[in-house]
Chains A and B, each alone.
Chain A
Amino acid sequence: MTAETVISAKNLSLTFQTNDGPVHALSDVSLDIEKGDFVSFIGPSGCGKTTFLRVMADLEQPTAGEITVNCTSAREARLNRAYGYVFQAAGLYPWRTIGGNIRLPLEIMGYSKAEQSERVARVLELVDLPGFEKKFPWQLSGGMQQRASIARALVFDADILLMDEPFGALDEIVRDHLNEQLLALWAKTNKTVGFVTHSIPEAVFLSTKIVVMSPRPGRVTDVIESPLPKERPLEIRDTPEFLDIAQRVREGLRAGHSYD
């Protein structure tokens, strides 16, 4: 753990008690995330990648181990509004306009009206949605809604962005486009990003660090530091370096599938 470590997990375990007996969602997971990292969590469903993200966000409590976010407990980080969280479904409130939805965290955090308007305008520009402030969510496409929900997570300037399969429900073309935009946004804002996905190309394209996870119990099987440059056009996906990393991710995933 260095001075620049933003999120640090040590021997983290989480067991859900269900009617069918205990489910080991996370088992002895350790990981450090440095400031400015773009970390992807990849693995089959049930590998605990979403649970891990939710533990960082203090939406789940670990049953063992330790987690610090910004050198404080996850709970304290949440109370300090240290991160913006993007859910799988955009989850915009249908009775609020796009502007109203993005303003929501600012209203709750008690920003002044003038500051709210200024910030909303700025993040709408950032996610390439200017002019949509007064539209209602149903008037936007799925990709645009997800961009609005990213804007909502960015608007209060948290240093950490946690994203739980944000593009999982979108089609390939929209997804490529949003991946590019997300990279540009990350370069511009220099945030630390935790990103859950089950798409290998998406994970390799976006990340500086890829965490490969496996299920039953959920654990980390491989952590890959990406040698790809920060500037990444879509064409980079055809380079041998890219394919090498993708291959390594695939092997990591296969190694985790010990149960079949």
Chain B
Amino acid sequence: MRTIEAQTITDTIVRLCMEANYNLGDDMLAAFDKALAKERSAAGRGVLEMFKENAQIARTQRLPYCQDTGFVICFVDLGQDVHIASGLLEDAINDGVRRGYTEGYLRASIVGDPFNRKNTGDNTPAVVHTQIVPGDKLTLMVMAKGGGCENRSKYKMCTPAEGVEGAKNFVIECIRTAGPDACPPLIAGVGIGGTFERAALLSKRSLFRAIGEPNPNPELNALEQELLAKANKLGIGPQGYGGDTTAFAIHINTYPCHITSLPVAVTIECHAHRHKEAVL
């Protein structure tokens, strides 16, 4: 049994929240350059250049890349030989969000109730997904998830008869209907299989894979590449101004499912793809 102090978790979350918002990942920066080399639209290239400049300013000035500093989604892989001392896991995470967002000049974007809509003032609470894993490590994966793109995420319970074609059509339909609203170029996280809620979780988690890193499953990798090529023929382009770069990546995670079901969940993520992780 290994002991991790709740305070250590809080301090780590503070740092991850800030870093995620100021420092866009190298994989995204590489994706911008790759798209710039292929994009035919002058307006589209202009947008991609602005992303690069924006990332540079955010990094050097410690200003958030996007003013929507997101809902904090935290995937926790908790080793079953870990004991968290001096506090509760979710409290420790929320304390970290509170401090990270307040001390880091990050926007408070969470309302405490879906109907009365009063802002909680410190961007808490986070959405925490915990799973128990072997070992004595604690992995914290933080994503600052923008609202505009999240609003375009969708779910469809396909039938087994619809099969892979049904799933493909639904993913492309999600990207098409997200259109210019969700700040394209996009990343689509796709969860296929499991149940209603499992598919959604798979789709979110898939977004933590680095852009450009192939899917370890060759068949899914081929499917991702096929869907990416299709998405980029939609013509929506950077910011929807028209162009060849509508999506940077499609990530697919799958899980076994019931004989009656073919669940497909699509999380839409924008170019402000902000996530960081730490292993304690």
Q: Do A and B come from one complex?
A: no
Binding site for B on A (CB under 8 A): none
Binding site for A on B (CB under 8 A): none
